[in-house]
Structure 1
Amino acid sequence: MSKRRCPMAKRGNEIRRRYLPALLRHVSFDGWSRRALKHAAKDLGEDFELVRRAFPGGAAGMVGAFIKSADEDMVEALAEQDLETLRIRERIALAIRLRIEAVAPHREAVRRAVAVHALPFNAPRALRSLYGTVDAIWTGIGDTSTDFNFYTKRALLAGVYSSTLLYWLDDHSDGFTDTWAFLERRIEDVMRIQKARGRVDGLTARLTKLAARGARFSPLRCRPA
């Protein structure tokens, strides 16, 4: 699935990435708000309306830009890794870790972003952002599936990523070691479910074949009266 972006969209993304560092300096105190944007514009020496227009959609638009920027940072970091030597589960763990490390300096901003996306009217944006993150992870680790597994993989990863992110928000262990251990457990749970599902699917297929064969060759047939 090729992804093409028009020059204007690319330019808009570049502008937002340039403004984000200034904005993030104030989000921890003022939230994803108009006030934070005003402070960012002042720091940058830019016209406030110009900065505001770079983030359409208010708080949710700012959060979306923050998430997209972190996704892009993760993809760049993944490109520098030797993924060929890693198993799929190791690639996933590495990608999620890199994604969280991309926003680690801004944990309060992440906490406030989660609160913004938790509002009912922001649910569609929240889902789009979550999909964008898990899609970036799968694509970044080299997944090329286009069948039904394309969506199954992303749905499963969404649960792993979001639960790990929420765990990390309240993790005070050195180097976030508790978060990485939690991540490994969540991946193990998913792998176990997938293995069990594979066995059940295989057993179901065999039973279906046996049932069909039995119906075909069974000597117990109804005789006409």
Structure 2
Amino acid sequence: PRLGWTEEAMIAGSKDVGVSPSIVGSFSRKEAALVEYFMDDCLQLLIDRVASGLDLQNLIPSERVSKLVRIRLEMQIPYMSKWPQALSIQAHPVNVPTSFKQRAMLVDEIWHTVGDGASDLDWYVKRTVLGGVYSTTEIYMLTDNSPEYRDTWAFLDDRVKDAFDLKKSIQEAKYFAQDIGAGVGKSFQGLMNGVMQTMSTRGGRSSAF
């Protein structure tokens, strides 16, 4: 965490595992490759956690979604001080396609685990909405100073409950698509400002996002 998502961190990591630091030169997108590896690793950890017997049976669907998103976001806590840097790397135009793909895979895995069998338009709406819930909770988490991120988890629960209102979900999916179109290609700060402004204008904690 101290070195952040940098080439220096990759060099230090190679030394820790007894590999020549020269191997870092084989990565053309060094910082991006590091973040993408972390994202893939976290997804696999989530899949393994579910496969090992994570108890979701006694939870209603919205609670299952909240629990899975929380488990995934908790994996970022040790790196929280450097996570804005990771988001900035992901928001770079060159890295956006892979970033979107990884988040789409995460969202799809969560819905699959919850037991969602939606198809056609409903399938896309649900995944778009959950992607918005995940991303805004992730950003909210960056400025949360409450004990053990208590406010973040309350924020997440509220967003998920709202997202299960289908009519609101469809409308919010349209909003989120507009936000993505406006955000791609902007700086990380601009993207964050856009999301936070969207949250504010739609009623803050009372909106689906």
Q: Same fold (TM over 0.5)?
A: yes
Asked if residue 57 in structure 1 is aligned to residue 29 in structure 2, the reply is yes
Asked if residue 190 in structure 1 is aligned to residue 155 in structure 2, the reply is no
Match of 1:129 among 99, 102, 109: 102
Task: Report what 2:145 is aligned to.
Answer: 172
AA of the residue aligned to 2:132: G
Match of 2:46 among 64, 74, 79: 74
**Contact 2:104 2:127 (C-alpha < 8 Å) held by counterparts:** yes
For these two proteins, the number of residue pairs brought into alignment is 169
CA gap of 1:45–1:143, structure 2 versus 1, over 3 A, is: same
Query: Deviation string for 1:83-117 (max 9, x for gaps)?
Result: 22211101100001111112222213433211111
Asked if residue 153 in structure 1 is aligned to residue 126 in structure 2, the reply is yes
Task: Report what 1:139 is aligned to.
Answer: 112
CA gap of 1:87–1:52, structure 2 versus 1, over 3 A, is: farther
**Contact 1:131 1:158 (C-alpha < 8 Å) held by counterparts:** yes
CA gap of 1:132–1:57, structure 2 versus 1, over 3 A, is: farther
CA gap of 1:127–1:196, structure 2 versus 1, over 3 A, is: closer
Asked if residue 118 in structure 1 is aligned to residue 63 in structure 2, the reply is no
CA distance in 2, matches of 1:118, 1:197: 25
CA distance in 1, matches of 2:15, 2:126: 43
| Coordinate RMSD, CA, aligned | 2.2
Task: Report what 1:221 is aligned to.
Answer: none
CA gap of 1:51–1:170, structure 2 versus 1, over 3 A, is: same
**Contact 2:126 2:169 (C-alpha < 8 Å) held by counterparts:** no
AA of the residue aligned to 1:57: R
Q: Which runs of 5+ in 2 are unaligned?
A: 171-209
Task: Report what 1:202 is aligned to.
Answer: none
CA distance in 1, matches of 2:35, 2:168: 38
CA distance in 1, matches of 2:36, 2:105: 10
AA of the residue aligned to 2:34: M
CA gap of 1:146–1:52, structure 2 versus 1, over 3 A, is: farther
AA of the residue aligned to 2:44: E
AA of the residue aligned to 1:45: G
User: Which stretch has the larger CA shift, 35-44 or 100-109?
Assistant: 100-109
CA gap of 1:68–1:188, structure 2 versus 1, over 3 A, is: same
Larger RCO (alpha carbons 8 Å, 6+ apart): 2
Task: Report what 1:210 is aligned to.
Answer: none
Matches within 5 A, 1:70-109: 70-79=42-51, 80-109=53-82
Give the TM-score normalised by structure 2: 0.72
AA of the residue aligned to 2:112: T
